[in-house]
Chain A
Amino acid sequence: MSSAAAVSVRPNPLWQALRKNRLSWVGVALLLLIVGVALLAPWIAPHDPLQQNIAYRLDPPSSDYWLGTDSYGRDVLSRLMYGARISLLVGFVSILIAMVVGSALGILAGYVGGFVDQLVMGLVDVLLSFPALLLGLMVAAMLGANLHNLIIAIALTEIAPFVRVARAPTISLKQRDFVEAGRALGFGPWRLMGVHILPNMISDVIVLGSMWMASAIRTEASLSFIGLGVPPPTATWGGMIREGFENILDAWWLVVFPCAAILATVLALNLLGDALRDAIDPKLRSERS
């Protein structure tokens, strides 16, 4: 296993994870399936996800509607396919934002030290003192529920671990010879942080991102279930469960299929993230709570 000090050459963590952990193949296969369905939804969905048809209200699964219809007569399968787009989009973009902002703050804190470091870490402490779901819930409620604000709210709940994972190696890297050499050559601090320090931790940050994307998708589903997701009639998995929950006594298919979709996505990401984590660095184990 490579240590944090041996930085320049190490095997591609994704490849290493796939080779060592056969269970991660299940995760990759599931994830490819879900991403494929999300991308191809407009072409492969059997019905229009928004098309209401009162004649087919709450129909159980049949040959026309494979997964049944909801209380407006909309096709559950098509809505599931379109819902995958929202879940993956929100999960991916919010983690991307958290990753960029979090690791930039972490590198800055580690590199500059002193007051800036204290300020950033104080900020992290504050973020961590709010329960994640509640923070997302409050921000979404205050800003108003829509796609854009949902992404901001979820990104905010996921920034802290990225700050931590970027800050710690920066503190040791900034004293290494190659950074010293850069400084002696007259490179500015931005160049040193961006070109010389960042590449040394980028794979750790990406692995952490793939692990936390599962959590982001879980939060998106939970907020949609509470009613703070992308507003209806847009199909979201959490929103479908929210609507189906009202008819849970006589239409089980309205909640069971979206539940299975959420579970499959989160499990796939967790399987992959777990294998990646074992492959890249055993130290990351404790970073996840």
Chain B
Amino acid sequence: MMRYTIKRLLLAIPTLWAMLTAVFVLVRLVPGDPAAVMLGDQASAEALNALRHRLGLDLPLSTQYVDFMRDMLTGNFGTSMATGRTVLSEITQVLPWTIQLTLAAVLLGVLMGLPLGVWAAVKRNAWPDYLGRIISLAGLSFPAFVSGILMLLAFAIQLRWFPVIGSSVSGGWAAQLRDLVLPAFNLGLIMAAYVMRVTRSSMLGVLSEDYVRTARAKGVKPFRLVLRHGLRNALIPIITVVGLYFGTLIGNSVLTEIVFNRPGIGKLILGALNTRDYTLLQGLMVVFATCVIVINILTDLIYGFVDPRVKYK
């Protein structure tokens, strides 16, 4: 297991380096002079030069690149253009909100999607299967902000079950929990659609295996057959999808936070876009891409636990 882990970690280094290079190039694609874009048309020549100097834009590109790599690798993401605080503190300040939301969503997604997928596979081509397939396809079709807005309209504005504007920041844990319900269900339902689909197809594959038939012939009870012989072996593709889904989940949570006016990374990005805060955007991009790379490694490592054969490949 140790060797497998180390090998997987080493493989991530070139990806990390290439990702950082891509961010470096992308930020320099800003047409014209970034300093002029940030300060606007009215800026004086001295102010422009000062900002260029502060951003290191007056240095040769190769020096900029080396400096950029050193800063990123030491966790120095620079200071926000808009607030003057470090990018890292801007991000870590709102991160707990986003983590709370995404964890709740993953939990809901798996709790709803997994049993429904198993049920659909067991009842293949009967009504639970058809219904489940149509519902999950509809779930996959919702952009997160569309489902969020419709939920907001239905449950907060029409039915008034939840407040339209959240009070999370000031309220206690009960208020926080109440504000979490709609956004978490919004993300969780979309995720449940993904989980359900892959669970169904993975279970269908496993249930047609010889060893499942043998177990059934031996008289293994249906419940045990489905969970122990079926689901356990169907888990790998499901874990892959949950791992791969993480990137989509980040995008969806950004949209959800904007719709429900929740503090978090989504509102941070929106603010950075409005103030053209390129250092903050650059920092966010690096942090998120690193998260995705780390989650991919974790997904691979979990394989090793779920299926011991993986380690020896």
Within 8 A of A (CB), among B266-312: 269-270, 273, 278, 281, 284-285, 288-289, 292-293, 296
Given contacts A23-B134, A267-B138, contact A131 B15 (CB under 8 A): no
Q: Mark A257-289, 1 if CB is under 8 A from B, else 0.
A: 001001100110011001000000000011001
- Chain A residue contacts of B296, Cβ below 8 A: 129
User: How many of chain B's residues have a CB under 8 angstroms from any CB in A?
Assistant: 55
Question: In the complex the two chains form, what is the Cα distance from A93 to B258 in whole Å?
Answer: 28
Give the shortest distance, in Å, between A176 (CB) and chain B (any CB). Answer: 27
Q: Mark B129-155, 1 if CB is under 8 A from A, else 0.
A: 000001001101111111001101100
Interface membership of B255, Cβ < 8 A = yes
Establish whether residues A125 and B18, one from each chain, have CB atoms under 8 Å apart when the complex forms.
yes
- Chain A residue contacts of B241, Cβ below 8 A: 289
Establish whether residues A221 and B143, one from each chain, have CB atoms under 8 Å apart when the complex forms.
yes
Question: In the complex the two chains form, what is the Cα distance from A266 to B138 in whole Å?
Answer: 9
Question: In the complex the two chains form, what is the Cα distance from A270 to B194 in whole Å?
Answer: 13
Give the shortest distance, in Å, between B294 (CB) and chain A (any CB). Answer: 10
Interface membership of B31, Cβ < 8 A = yes
Establish whether residues A214 and B141, one from each chain, have CB atoms under 8 Å apart when the complex forms.
yes
- Chain A residue contacts of B30, Cβ below 8 A: 142-143
Question: In the complex the two chains form, what is the Cα distance from A271 to B149 in whole Å?
Answer: 23
Smallest CB gap from B149: residue in A: A255
Smallest CB gap from B37: residue in A: A144
Given contacts A138-B285, A267-B137, A274-B137, contact A222 B145 (CB under 8 A): yes
* From A134, A262, A289, contact of B146 by CB (8 A): A262
Question: In the complex the two chains form, what is the Cα distance from A248 to B245 in whole Å?
Answer: 30
Establish whether residues B270 and A126, one from each chain, have CB atoms under 8 Å apart when the complex forms.
no
Given contacts A142-B27, A225-B255, A245-B149, contact A263 B285 (CB under 8 A): no
Within 8 A of A (CB), among B238-284: 240-241, 244-248, 250-252, 254-255, 258-259, 269-270, 273, 278, 281, 284
Smallest CB gap from A144: residue in B: B31
- Chain A residue contacts of B142, Cβ below 8 A: 263, 266
Q: Is the interface of A mostly helix, strand, loop or mixed?
A: helix
Establish whether residues A263 and B251, one from each chain, have CB atoms under 8 Å apart when the complex forms.
no
Give the shortest distance, in Å, between A4 (CB) and chain B (any CB). Answer: 18
Interface membership of B84, Cβ < 8 A = no
* From A123, A228, A270, A289, contact of B137 by CB (8 A): A270
Interface membership of B107, Cβ < 8 A = no
Given contacts A141-B273, A241-B149, contact A222 B15 (CB under 8 A): no
Nearest first, the 7 closest Cβ-Cβ pairs linking A and B are A133-B251, A131-B247, A289-B244, A267-B141, A266-B141, A131-B250, A126-B18
| Selected A-B contacts with CB under 8 Å, 11 pairs | A128-B292, A129-B15, A130-B285, A133-B248, A134-B285, A138-B26, A139-B26, A214-B141, A221-B143, A270-B140, A286-B237
